[in-house]
A and B are shown apart, each in its own frame.
Chain A
Amino acid sequence: MPNREVEPFAWMAFSAGGVAAAMFAPILLFLFGLALPLGWVSPDHAGLLDALGHPLTRLALLGVCAAALFHFAHRFRYTLYDGLQLARFGTVITAGCYGLAVLGSAAAAYILLLVL
């Protein structure tokens, strides 16, 4: 279980990610998950690549993705503690949740900064 030194930072990342997810997630998932695949809007590939490839877009998306992942990690960790009463496995859950957020953020950085 994170000690008193780690918990405040985990909470701040959770809060930042909560704001980012509240502001950006619905419209992005609406566009990428529904509007584009179902053909409601159909920007051509080159234009999409341009829009996503802009340095500011990459940085903004990286920030949103990383923060949202830490938001997930923190909230899901406590959901497992309280909802499923698994607090006795706290160390494993904590390592798993925040570990996933770190790996996911690294993957996001790789895709947004190197592949794109």
Chain B
Amino acid sequence: MAEEFDDEFDGPVKRFLFVNRKAPYGTVYALESLEVVLISAAFDQDVSLVFVDDGVFQIVKDQDTDGINMKNFSRTYRALEGYDVEKLYVEKESLDARGLTEDDLLVDVEILDSQGLSDLMDAQDVVITS
């Protein structure tokens, strides 16, 4: 066998990058996109996530949604590790523009500048943006 596949999913593995651009609340994109990430992990794909623009707010610590009658789903990002989704990236320019630092985030991430983000996208098979 030239290629090794995971025991559970007996098929090809592609590099999937999910690009999260939107704030967690206000629109449904972040919540529904997270569902796609979890399914891609169930298919044992090589999954990465990047947070850019207002998407960086998705992983900010201490979110409190009590006042807006929305489900606080930020804990799901912490659970991604359990699905072997461990490659999380944040664009530096997006953090800087919002006065945020790595310490404000609820998961471990790798910080990339926009050139690094461009290289990351180049290395993917499938890029899904929302």
A and B from one complex = no
Q: Which residues of A contact B (CB under 8 A)?
A: none
Q: Which residues of B contact A (CB under 8 A)?
A: none
